[in-house]
Structure 1
């Protein structure tokens, strides 16, 4: 694990559980996710309603979930597109029910690899090939113009919280506007579907978080762009490259600020509350109220 970013930066500084000095670190995904000092973008999103709260965030930090089979395809596609990540291992069996095959799959996972069925193995290679044919995506992930899987750590000035982000791809420094791409697999890369996904998964918060990291470490200014390269899992594996508008970025920044304030307070007090400590007064969802008013009243 090395700090490769800041001129004059010291060797990686860490305490039990995490990095304490800002910089760009060359580290494994396991080392990155094991950090318990800094706050990530996904952690910030988990701190906030409507689907998260501090108590859920703390529980998930203390009880990391086991890797799910459903994530294997995404990890495999990332490996081929970015050129970095776990080894992909083809398991020559369409069904993984026998004892021998289960043991083979378990052995691959134990070694840090991603086991794939034959059809999945062919699928992710087809996805990588399709992405390399896209005129914009192919340039954004050009191996000659950047580095994959770079871990950034920086300190939030208002709260003192150490923040972190793991960039899919960090472009090399050059003149002109810095464009930071993030690769995502999806069911549909149609713009209307992606707009819903941005709201559902908080991708506007991720975009603001990563831009903040690049700016804090002197890699970019306010003109830097963060774009999502979204690719469908099913053939012909269509690709859309999207940048969020100013309104979405403002909302993402405001939610991130709220999450950082909550994290700083919870860390200081040692108290991680749930959704609410008070009696909640509920109304029907607006759509249900309109429906039933029209039908019964």
Structure 2
């Protein structure tokens, strides 16, 4: 399995693992031909091929709008990024802004300057929260990684028909046998909600896509690879929850990935990227709305015809 440390002179000309690839390079698709990643595959499958084409930088490149300013991270995103940095020991540096809040203009300007420098701006109370989260998550992550970490790894592979595919893995063990997706969130307050989020957020599909890529690059690891989703509350007590997909979930992901890949290959070969049909579609009321109405009709006598003397 070829492994390459990325430099500005690096050319992606064969399958392998490319380390340290800048996000903007990955998003621009550095492969020799248009390559499919998990997000575009999901658009092809769940929306339409037209949506997949529109999201791909080589199929339908968009002209940058110089008037558009890049969106700034939210407070929760900065705290989450800081927790990642403190737990893994890699990633953007933290810029500590000594202020009680972000109300003063000078502090807001300092935060903006930190963002522009590629740093994570935090005030002390935000840093304390990120540190508390990392202190809980780090022993779990260390146990999974066993002292061996590869960060920001772009995997590139080809299938039997010669089509190109790529993925960007956030964190994995150096032998590519354990892949970790660490997410801090306010959307999870129980293990059952974490399990639901794996499927609502298409994380299971991304796992299936990346598992296929790693199995192609590392056939000896097939069936011996772990994909772990570690969710952690941003609010105290910062409870963590480790999730792995079931066999049924992995089977579903494999079937959906195969379907999305077939759609992509057919469209790339033909040059046709159709959207959905115009319709008309018949919209039937959902079961919950019917049940809600039936329940009200049963108890609300005022809905009956009035008795007018």
- Asked if these proteins are the same fold (TM beyond 0.5), I'd say yes
The match for 1:131 is 137
Residue 29 of structure 1 deviates from its aligned partner by 3.7
Cα distance in 1 for partners of 2:87, 2:36 equals 27
Residue 67 of structure 1 deviates from its aligned partner by 4.8
Alignment of 1:20-169 (within 5 A): 20-30=13-23, 31-35=25-29, 37-49=34-46, 52-61=47-56, 62=61, 66-69=71-74, 70-134=76-140, 137-142=141-146, 144-157=147-160, 160-169=162-171
The match for 1:9 is none
Give unmatched runs, 5+ long, in structure 2.
Answer: 65-69, 299-309
Residue 192 of structure 1 deviates from its aligned partner by 0.6
- Residue by residue over 1:276-296, the C-alpha shift from the partner in whole angstroms, topping out at 9 and shown as x without a partner, is 443222212222233334544
User: Does structure 2 conserve the Cα–Cα contact (< 8 Å) formed by 1:83 and 1:148?
Assistant: no
Which structure has the larger Rg over C-alpha atoms? 2
Cα distance in 2 for partners of 1:201, 1:99 equals 36
* SS of equivalent residue, structure 1 residue 180: strand
The match for 1:260 is 261
Cα distance in 2 for partners of 1:278, 1:86 equals 48
Residue 97 of structure 1 deviates from its aligned partner by 4.2
**Are 2:292 and 1:291 aligned?**
yes
The match for 2:179 is 180
User: Does structure 1 conserve the Cα–Cα contact (< 8 Å) formed by 2:195 and 2:243?
Assistant: no
Cα distance in 1 for partners of 2:151, 2:259 equals 30
* SS of equivalent residue, structure 1 residue 229: strand
- Residue by residue over 1:95-115, the C-alpha shift from the partner in whole angstroms, topping out at 9 and shown as x without a partner, is 434432332222212111122
* SS of equivalent residue, structure 2 residue 79: helix
Give unmatched runs, 5+ long, in structure 1.
Answer: 6-11
Residue 173 of structure 1 deviates from its aligned partner by 3.2
Alignment of 1:273-288 (within 5 A): 273-288=274-289
Change (3 A) 1:287 1:222: same
Cα distance in 2 for partners of 1:211, 1:247 equals 15
* SS of equivalent residue, structure 1 residue 45: helix
* SS of equivalent residue, structure 2 residue 222: coil
User: Does structure 2 conserve the Cα–Cα contact (< 8 Å) formed by 1:81 and 1:141?
Assistant: no
Change (3 A) 1:273 1:119: farther
Residue 148 of structure 1 deviates from its aligned partner by 2.2
State the Cα RMSD in Å. 3.0
* SS of equivalent residue, structure 1 residue 48: helix
- Residue by residue over 1:42-64, the C-alpha shift from the partner in whole angstroms, topping out at 9 and shown as x without a partner, is 33223333xx4444444455569
92-101 or 114-123, which moves further after superposition? 92-101
User: Does structure 2 conserve the Cα–Cα contact (< 8 Å) formed by 1:161 and 1:260?
Assistant: no
- Residue by residue over 1:21-58, the C-alpha shift from the partner in whole angstroms, topping out at 9 and shown as x without a partner, is 21100123423233263322233223333xx4444444
